[in-house]
Amino acid sequence: MLRLTAEQHTRFKADGFVIVENILHGETVAAAAERFAPLFRGEFETGAMPDEWNWREGRDSDHLTRQICNGWKSDRVVASIVLRADIGRACAELMGWPGARLNQDNVLWKPPGAAALGHHQDASYESWVVPREMATCWMTLDATSADGGTIEYVRGSHRWGLSPPISQFHAPADHQVDMRRAAAVAGVEPDVVRIECAAGSGVLHHGRTWHGSAANRSNQPRRSLVAHCMSSEARFHPTNVSAIYGRYKRPGELSMDESFFPILWTQKGRRTEFLEKYAVGLPQGP
């Protein structure tokens, strides 16, 4: 189970992120990795398409990082990981929320030669959510290395304030350019940390922490699953509408339907009812 120590809470508060080992059991890592190729071929185990399918085999360049958003709706192996109660609890406790619900997940695949992803703040893209807060659990299915396009975090950048969405997310010429501009405005020299860790490990990060990744210059893929969480009490913004996730807003209402934004954990023991049958259990961390 994912349980954070007091020291890890302190590190998160200071740095805006904290590295955690053994979030995923080895058997779970292998099962999840096997789902990547079918997913990006459009073979969806549940029959439902994900909300975003940004790279498709035969259509897009092999030099782009492959991304699916809300793979949990399309694949129950993915669901069994990103919908875990202990991930929701960790995010809620780090952020001081009464509970956590899933905002969205990411299925990310950066094969050898794949281009960079621009440094950004997740909360920049969440103007449609109230409160505009996120916490994220990033989990790697492959051992990461500095030359393998691993995820990079900027220490303490969650205290810089919130910037607009970046100029180019996929394959920018300079993947740190927007981050450096924000650092200059904040009057600080950015301290970039490249995460090198074993498969099954991960990072929990604040929604305002700047992060991104360079190109994969190794001969190994980098595959990861990401659970983006928001408060269990989050609601739709009354006027800001998401072009994608606004489809789940009921007319005249601001509450979020748990069918699409399930509650993972609350202090009062609440968890969306269908998850225990839908999110098929796999071994968690050792």
Q: What is the pLDDT of residues 258-285, one digit of tens each?
A: 999 999 999 999 999 999 889 865 544 4
**Count of CB atoms situated within 10 Å of the CB of 85:** 19
Between CA 174 and CA 36 the distance in angstroms is 28
Region 143-161: what's the mean pLDDT?
97
pLDDT of residue 280: 66
Q: pLDDT exceeding 90 applies to what percent of the chain?
A: 94
The fold for domain 6-275 equals Jelly Rolls (2.60.120)
pTM of the model: 0.96
pLDDT at 286: 45
Does residue 131 have a cis peptide bond before it, meaning omega lies within 30 degrees of 0? yes
Of residues 52 and 279, more confidence is placed in 52
Band (120; pLDDT cuts 50, 70, 90): very high
Q: What is the pLDDT of residue 279?
A: 81
Per-residue pLDDT tens over the stretch 209-232: 999 999 999 999 999 999 999 999
Averaged confidence pLDDT in the chain: 96
Strand (E) or helix (H) holding 147: none
What residue spans define the domains of the chain? 6-275
pLDDT confidence of residue 281: 55
Q: What is the pLDDT of residues 153-173, one digit of tens each?
A: 999 999 999 999 999 999 999
Check residue 285 and give its pLDDT.
47
The order of strands in the sheet holding 117-120 is 117-120, 211-213, 151-154, 192-194
Mean pLDDT on 38-53: 96
pLDDT for res 283: 47
Which residues on adjacent β-strands are paired with residue 231? 100
Rounded mean pLDDT, 63-87:
96
CB 102 within 8 A of CB 275: no
Of 150, 161, 207, whose CA–CA distance to 183 is shortest? 161
Question: Measuring CA to CA, how many Å separate 275 from each of 49, 261, 270?
Answer: 18, 11, 11
